């Protein structure tokens, strides 16, 4: 069974940093592209970033480009999202998602990030 468990969310002040982690199990992590998708509670879904299977290719939404960095450790079956210069508008639930069928196929339960003073 595919399992994706996010951690690292919490309350951070504007301008601060946070690193999210996503531990994967139940599939060959090193063979799959991975995504981060966020959602303000009660609002829509927003793609944040993705990374290819070996970590050599990454892509970011314009709203986070230059502030967020996606990375992975295939030996640890773990996906990361380093978030710097956080803003109030980054407040959201962050989902770790495994790619399959060319899209967002398997979703973790999410971790809540709150940016507030």
Give the CB-side neighbour count of residue 85, counting CA atoms within 13 A.
7
- Least distance to other proteins, CB of residue 15, Å: 25
33 lies in the binding site for other proteins (CB under 8 A): no
103 lies in the binding site for other proteins (CB under 8 A): yes
- Least distance to other proteins, CB of residue 16, Å: 25
The rounded distance, in Å, linking the Cα atoms of 42 and 26 is: 30
* Residue 88, CA distances (Å) to 51, 74, 100, 116 in order: 25, 32, 32, 6
45 lies in the binding site for other proteins (CB under 8 A): yes
For other proteins, the binding residues (CB under 8 A) are 35, 43-47, 50, 59-62, 95, 101-110
């Amino acid at each position: 069974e595919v399992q994706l468990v996010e951690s690292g969310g919490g309350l951070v002040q504007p301008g601060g940093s946070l690193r999210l982690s996503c531990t994967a199990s139940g599939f060959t992590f090193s063979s799959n592209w991975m995504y981060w998708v966020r959602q303000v509670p009660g609002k829509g879904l927003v793609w944040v970033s993705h990374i290819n299977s070996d970590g050599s290719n990454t892509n970011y939404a314009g709203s986070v480009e230059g502030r967020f960095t996606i990375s992975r450790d295939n030996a640890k079956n773990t996906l990361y999202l380093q978030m710097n210069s956080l803003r109030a508008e980054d407040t959201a639930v962050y989902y770790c998602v495994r790619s399959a069928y060319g899209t967002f196929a398997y979703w973790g339960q999410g971790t809540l990030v709150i940016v507030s003073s």
